[in-house]
């Protein structure tokens, strides 16, 4: 899978393609085999994770890992943990009790393909598998920093991160939020996991506290930019291109950057966040090239 038709340097395209193919193999190995009992649950977990998605979060982890010379085998595990959490969130988000959607990554959503109870268990099992991976593989030189990594992903995933953002999202349907309220929601719902991907990739290698602080800021800014662009695409792109139902935000009367700012201002905001994110990488020089290119992709993508 490629990242679409936007113009990218050919070596960056090659870097992406190589990581996507390799990482698909990593996920296939790490997920429970479909022949192992309970077969239907394992098959549904594989359905929800494999053969789809842009893998933006894993790519951010690989780029951050490369920046600090991390062993790619360690980053594989960190990236897989983040992607499993992401896949869990999509499965639950699509269920009738939340966003109630039938299409994800160009395929029927998990609860449509299987059933509600299976989808619930798929999300639960993907989430716990993510933490199992972080606990059972050596990711860092010492146990204390590995525990910090596990805590980082837990906070990013839970009520002070993604799940908390989702709770605010669900309760804001039909309401108008202020810009700071909308930002708070999205920094948590979408941004927290993107930020965690960058941080965990870097923590697999040797990174100073000052570098980590810069990368944290990069992750926060690019995570928010991702969401602003997602709001724009929800209005502008079509369902076939997105692989999920377009126009859902307006249909569900959800506050978005577009509903609050209008499409042009939302685009300007994404550009500003993009610029600020790139500024945080200035001191890393050429070693941050992949992160810069991924930031460009996140803001320029068409799906
Ligand atoms: C259910 C706890 C819980 C949280 C759900 C992620 C999320 C929170 C909801 C998804 C709804 C949504 C469309 C959010 C906008 C941003 C987003 C996460 C888009 C999907 O991510 P991509 O574009 O998807 O990286 P792929 O399929 O490429 O991996």
Mutate to test the pocket of ligand 1, among 189, 247, 299, 301 (most ligand atoms within 8 A of CB): 189
Judge whether 4 lies within some domain: no
The Cα 246–Cα 250 span in angstroms is 9
Judge whether 127 lies within some domain: yes
Pocket lining: 166 vs ligand 1, CB cutoff 6 Å: yes
Q: Give the rounded distance of the alpha carbon of 251 from its chain centre.
A: 24
Q: Which stretches of 109-265 are assigned E, i.e. beta strand?
A: none
Long-range CB contacts (within 8 A, 24+) of 94-99:
94/119, 95/119, 95/120, 98/166, 98/170, 99/248, 99/252
Over the stretch 124-142, which tens digit does the pLDDT of each residue have?
999 999 999 999 999 998 8
Q: How many domains does the chain have?
A: 1
Judge whether 2 lies within some domain: no
Judge whether 78 lies within some domain: yes
Atom of ligand 1 nearest to the CA of 56: 25
Atom of ligand 1 nearest to the CA of 92: 1
Judge whether 5 lies within some domain: no
Residue 248 confidence (pLDDT): 77
Q: What is the pTM of this model?
A: 0.94
Q: List the CATH number of the domain containing 63.
A: 1.10.600.10
Over the stretch 215-262, which tens digit does the pLDDT of each residue have?
999 999 999 999 999 999 988 877 777 777 777 777 778 899 999 999
* Contact by Cβ (8 Å): 93, 71: no
* Contact by Cβ (8 Å): 215, 203: no
Residue 3 has pLDDT above 60, yes or no: no
Pocket lining: 237 vs ligand 1, CB cutoff 6 Å: no
Pocket lining: 231 vs ligand 1, CB cutoff 6 Å: no
Judge whether 3 lies within some domain: no
Judge whether 64 lies within some domain: yes
Residue 1 has pLDDT above 50, yes or no: no
Over the stretch 148-207, which tens digit does the pLDDT of each residue have?
999 999 999 999 999 999 999 999 988 889 999 999 999 999 999 999 999 999 999 999
Judge whether 89 lies within some domain: yes
Over the stretch 17-56, which tens digit does the pLDDT of each residue have?
999 999 999 999 999 999 999 999 999 999 999 999 999 9
Pocket lining: 249 vs ligand 1, CB cutoff 6 Å: no
DSSP H/E element including 107:
strand 107-108
CA angle, 173 then 176 then 179, to 5°: 115
Whether a cis peptide bond, with omega within 30° of 0, leads into 38 is: yes
Domain that holds residue 23: 10-300
Using 50, 70 and 90 to split pLDDT, how confident is the model at 2? very low
Q: Once rounded to an integer, what is the mean pLDDT over residues 7-19?
A: 86
Residue 7 confidence (pLDDT): 59
Pocket lining: 54 vs ligand 1, CB cutoff 6 Å: yes
Pocket lining: 56 vs ligand 1, CB cutoff 6 Å: yes
Q: Give the rounded distance of the alpha carbon of 21 from its chain centre.
A: 18
Over the stretch 85-108, which tens digit does the pLDDT of each residue have?
999 999 999 999 999 999 999 999
Mutate to test the pocket of ligand 1, among 79, 159, 190, 228 (most ligand atoms within 8 A of CB): 190
DSSP H/E element including 108:
strand 107-108
Q: Give every CB contact of residue 212 below 8 A, 6+ residues apart in sequence.
A: 199, 202, 203
């Amino acid at each position: 899978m490629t990242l679409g038709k936007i113009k990218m340097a050919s070596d960056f395209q090659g870097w992406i393609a190589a990581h996507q193919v390799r990482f698909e193999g990593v996920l296939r190995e790490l997920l429970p085999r479909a022949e192992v009992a309970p077969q239907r649950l394992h098959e549904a977990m594989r359905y929800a994770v494999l053969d789809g998605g842009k893998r933006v979060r894993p790519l951010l982890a690989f780029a951050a890992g490369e920046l600090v010379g991390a062993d790619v085998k360690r980053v594989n595990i960190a990236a897989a943990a983040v992607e499993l959490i992401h896949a869990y969130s999509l499965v639950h988000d699509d269920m009738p009790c939340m966003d109630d959607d039938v299409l994800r990554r160009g395929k029927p959503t998990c609860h449509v393909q299987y059933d509600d109870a299976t989808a619930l268990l798929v999300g639960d099992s993907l989430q716990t598998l993510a933490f199992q991976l972080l606990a059972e593989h050596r990711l860092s030189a010492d146990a204390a920093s590995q525990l910090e990594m596990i805590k980082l992903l837990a906070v990013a995933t839970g009520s002070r991160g993604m799940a908390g953002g989702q709770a605010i999202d669900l309760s804001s349907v039909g309401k108008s939020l202020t810009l700071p309220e909308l930002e708070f929601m999205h920094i948590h719902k979408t941004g927290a996991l993107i930020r965690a991907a960058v941080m965990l990739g870097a923590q697999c290698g040797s990174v100073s506290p000052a570098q980590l602080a810069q990368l944290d800021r990069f992750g926060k800014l690019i995570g928010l930019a991702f969401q602003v662009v997602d709001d724009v695409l929800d209005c502008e792109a079509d369902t076939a291109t997105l692989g999920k139902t377009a126009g859902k935000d307006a249909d569900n009367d959800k506050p978005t950057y577009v509903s609050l700012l209008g499409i042009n201002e939302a685009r300007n905001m994404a550009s500003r966040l993009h610029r600020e994110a790139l500024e945080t990488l200035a001191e890393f020089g050429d070693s941050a090239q992949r992160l810069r290119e991924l930031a460009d992709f996140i803001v320029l993508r068409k799906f």
